Every structure is written in C-alpha cells, then in structure tokens.
Amino acid sequence: MTPQQIELVQKTFAQVKPIAGDAAALFYARLFELDPSLRALFRKDMAVQGQMLMAMIGSAVASLRDLPRVVPVLRDMGARHAGYGVRDEHYATVGSALLWTLERGLGDAFTPEVSQAWAAAYAILSQTMIEGSRQAVAV
C-alpha cells in the first residue's frame, strides 16, 4: 500500500466510526445475502459481533503504517477463524461485503481511489489471516 492509500483508508474509516453500528448491520446483512451459509458461523449476538468487527477493523486500520506489528495478531485471528469454520474462499465474500458497505456508508466520499485503497488494505489483511489459517491447519 502506498502512504496515500493508507491515509485514505484511515481518513474514511474515521468517517465510518460515527455510524459504526449501522455499518456493521449493513455489512452482515450484505454478507449473509451474498452467502447465506455463512450465517451459521455466527453464534453471538449480532450487535456484539458488529462491535467486535468494527473494533478489529479500527485496530487494523490504525496499524497500517506498522504492519509488522499487527501481522502476528492477524495470523492468530486467521487461525481462530479457521477453527470456527471459515474457509479461504470466504475472505473474498467478506471483502465484497466490506466494500459494498463502505460505498453505502461513505456515499460520495467513496471515490474510485478510496475503493482501491480499501481493496489494497483488505487484500493485505485477509491474505495475512489466510496465512494464519493455513499454518493452523498444517500443525
């Protein structure tokens, strides 16, 4: 990711924070619309799950300038998600739901540059989680 992309992701996530609850609800609605089978992976209260999602995204976004620090956390999270039944192909669906949610939440601020920046960020974060899930399976 370029420094400009990191700045765009961090700036736009700051715009999402005030609507975090609504954004999380939109995200999960879209995720389950794209792949209804994923609903079975979520056993917690969805409001709590949404809070956890937004906190995790916020932490990852804040760490984009220091990725080596967050890589072990992401790999561990990927390993845990594999234990919940998350498969590699689910990450593409999550990415699609995330970008769709950001587009709706940011409106006109969701420019092509913002979309590309978020796609780049998600690619790095999801690939790191996938690496963690594969390491967990290999053990």
**pLDDT over 90, % of the chain:** 91
- Write the Ramachandran bin of 107: left for phi over 0, alpha for psi from -120 to 50, otherwise beta: left
- Rounded Cα–Cα distance for residues 74 and 129 (Å): 5
Tell me the per-residue pLDDT of 44-59, one tens digit each, with 9 for 90 and over: 899 999 999 999 999 9
Tens-place pLDDT, residues 102-120: 999 999 999 999 999 999 9
CATH number of 3-138: 1.10.490.10
Q: Domain boundaries in the chain?
A: 3-138
Q: What is the pLDDT of residues 6-37, one digit of tens each?
A: 999 999 999 999 999 999 999 999 999 999 99
* Close Cβ partners of 69 (under 8 Å, ≥ 6 residues apart): 63
CB 132 within 8 A of CB 79: yes
Q: Rounded to two decimals, what is the model's pTM? A: 0.92
